[in-house]
Amino acid sequence: MTTTAAGHDARPAHRSAEQIGTTPAGPRPLPPLGTRRTARVPSTVDTVLENGLRVIAVRRPAVPMVELRLAVPFGGTHRTHAARAEVLSATLLRGTARRDRFGIDTELARVGGELSAGVDPEYLSVSGSALASGLPVLLDVLADSLSDAAHRAGEVARERSRLVERIVMGRSQPRVIAREALQRHRYGDHPATREMPAADDVAAVTPAAVRALHRRAVVPGGSVLVLVGDITPARVVETVAAALSGWRSDRVATEVAPLPDVAGGDLALVHRDGAVQSQLRLSGQALPRTDERYPALQLANLVFGGYFSSRWVENIREDKGYTYGAHSGFEFTPHGATLLADADTASEVTAAALLETRYELGRMAVVPPDESEVDNARQYSTGSLTIGTSSQAGLAGHLTALAMVGLDVDWLRAHPARLRKVTTEQVAEAAAQFLAPTRFTGVVVGDAERLAGPLSALGGVAVP
């Protein structure tokens, strides 16, 4: 510590962040971006077991843990399939013939592990993790649940009640109302729209119906198991094959039926009485990751509304203050992809926000992204992918999503190079083809009494 002759502390005066970032010659320049590091190729095994299960094992020894992801295609066409599927996923890990729910929790806790299950119209999913040394226990609990889940009456009744309460509460939320309205508007009564079952259908689900669905639909053929962590992939595949040898079926997991392409057209105004905010949801057909044009469209979407510095966000959030957040991104399915642009706005500026949204979509076609915008989007996309796959959990999630559309770790490894090769002209072509306002449809959810007049004047909105 420095002292003066008088014995007092001689601490430097406090400087603000603005002062620190300023020099006599002007603002202090930002340093250039560092050289991008080449990702190390992880040791990987990708194989199909005798029972039809695809196993992807990747060595990522950052910490002595292992991440597990299982995806079982779980499509169904019956009206009550979604209700039975929800109860099945809620009780899948709640007991078997060998273990009750407390026994499962105790064994997993002993190895620092956890398992959880969820379901949507496309997949039954199981996620988990454990100490790498506890992987055999994690796999044993998983195998027991897949082959011999009890779905006991008490557990079914308990989870059924919880689900009914959650569904009733969820359907009162604006974002849920908007999501269901958008799905109906895009796809009608397609099974993929039943993301949340009817509460009455859930209340009527019986243990026998859940067990029957389990026997018929929880099968290894067509399913994917991903393991990422401090493991030796070849040895782990052998461990998985032994642990899941009893999980067998002559059936193949059922994929959801392909969705029809989203056709552009008028938006639908959905009335929500007394709402002071509106939900804008616009959607258009996009490209799957397997299409060679996907990297260009990915960058075009980022320039439009895919990150904070995008044109749409700058317009309706930063410049005009119409919304706290706006975002445009991809929704991938086993057979295709769509673009979804969403924003929540106050009722009095809903029509203005929609006008600006259409303006920015049109501007992508007539004033295409320049080189600076494309380079910024490229840096953001590559950086996000690097960060998103840097952890064991992140890598496991990415690989599972890719595996379900027939892609593998090689696609993930090569994607940054594909982004680097995209030209500004290719981005402009993708924007003109896929971001034109006429390619979009969607819904506006809000108080129709307040919104009908302005939206009718704007046009392109079907008012009830």
* 441-453 residue pLDDT tens: 999 999 999 999 9
pLDDT at 17 over 70: no
Task: Give me the long-range contacts of 423-426 (CB less than 8 A, separation at least 24).
Answer: 424/368, 424/369, 424/370, 424/371, 424/374, 426/293, 426/296
In this predicted model, what pLDDT tens digit does every residue of 367-378 receive, in sequence order?
Answer: 999 999 999 999
Name the CATH topology of 44-243: Cytochrome Bc1 Complex; Chain A, domain 1 (3.30.830)
* CB 66, CB 231: distance < 8 Å: yes
Burial class (CB in 10 A: 0-12, 13-18, 19+), 169: exposed
Q: Quick check: helix, strand or coil at residue 441?
A: strand
| Nearest partner of 125 among 30, 33, 223, 32, judged by Cα | 223
pLDDT class for 239, splitting at 50, 70, 90? Answer: very high
The pLDDT assigned to 164 comes to 97
Beta bridge partners of 27: 22
CATH 3.30.830.10 spans which residues of the chain? 44-243, 267-462
In this predicted model, what pLDDT tens digit does every residue of 142-158 receive, in sequence order?
Answer: 999 999 999 999 999 99
Element of type H or E holding 179 = helix 174-187
Within 8 A by CB and 6+ apart from 204, the residues are 80, 83
Interatomic CA distance for residues 356 and 354, integer angstroms: 5
In this predicted model, what pLDDT tens digit does every residue of 48-76 receive, in sequence order?
Answer: 999 999 999 999 998 999 999 999 999 99
The pLDDT assigned to 1 comes to 46
Interatomic CA distance for residues 139 and 55, integer angstroms: 13
Query: Percent helix, strand, coil in the chain (nearest 5)?
Result: 45, 20, 35
Interatomic CA distance for residues 44 and 81, integer angstroms: 36
Interatomic CA distance for residues 170 and 175, integer angstroms: 9
Sign of the Cα torsion 158, 159, 164, 165 reads positive
**CATH number of the domain at 267-462, out of 3.30.830.10, 3.40.50.970, 2.40.30.10, 3.40.50.300?**
3.30.830.10
